[in-house]
Amino acid sequence: MTDRIRRIAPAALLAALAAAAWGCSPGVANPVDPDGARAALKTTLDAWKEGKTPDSLQSASPAIVAQDMEWASGAKLLDYSVVSDKPADANLDARVKLTLSARGKKVEREAKYLVTTSPAVTVFRDMMK
């Protein structure tokens, strides 16, 4: 009997976990508010350009959670321009041309930001782009 339980237990556990995960699916995400997302992106990039930290956006109204590894590592934003943006379900997918000063050198690059407006306002840089 013990050998049979050892063989069946992993399959039963996997089936129970799959059923639980299926029953807990979140459904449809909150659609993005494009105008609110554009404003959050502008507020975020302006804060970086002004020399503020990502954490300083927590006191904005509404509060913004921002993440950009170059910003966090000390790169200075000299200028930016939004190249394009489009709503994509719960996100605004924005392409931004950044002009940075990193280690004393001026660098230009295009970055992709994903901006959400609900349930929280977030501006995250897609570091894979």
Residue 26 lies in a domain: no
Output the CA–CA distances (angstroms, integers) from residue 21 to 1, 4, 35, 110, in the order listed. Answer: 30, 26, 34, 37
Residue 1 lies in a domain: no
Question: What CA–CA distance (Å, rounded) separates 43 from 48?
Answer: 9
Mean pLDDT of 46-74: 96
Question: What CA–CA distance (Å, rounded) separates 80 from 126?
Answer: 16
Residue 20 lies in a domain: no
Q: What is the CATH number of the domain that holds 65?
A: 3.10.450.50
Number of domains forming the structure of the chain: 1
Predicted confidence (pLDDT) at residue 6 exceeds the cutoff of 60:
no
Residue 57 lies in a domain: yes
Is residue 68 within 8 A of residue 48, CB to CB? The reply is yes
- How confident is the model over 17-42, as pLDDT tens digits? 444 444 454 566 789 999 999 999 99
Residue 8 lies in a domain: no
Name beta bridge partners: 82: 96
Q: State the pLDDT confidence band at 121, using cuts at 50, 70 and 90.
A: very high
Residue 6 lies in a domain: no
Residue 3 lies in a domain: no
Encoding tokens for residue 1?
């009997």
Is residue 108 within 8 A of residue 96, CB to CB? The reply is no
Residue 9 lies in a domain: no
8-22, 69-83, 102-116: the lowest-pLDDT one: 8-22
- Which domain does 92 fall in, by range? 34-126
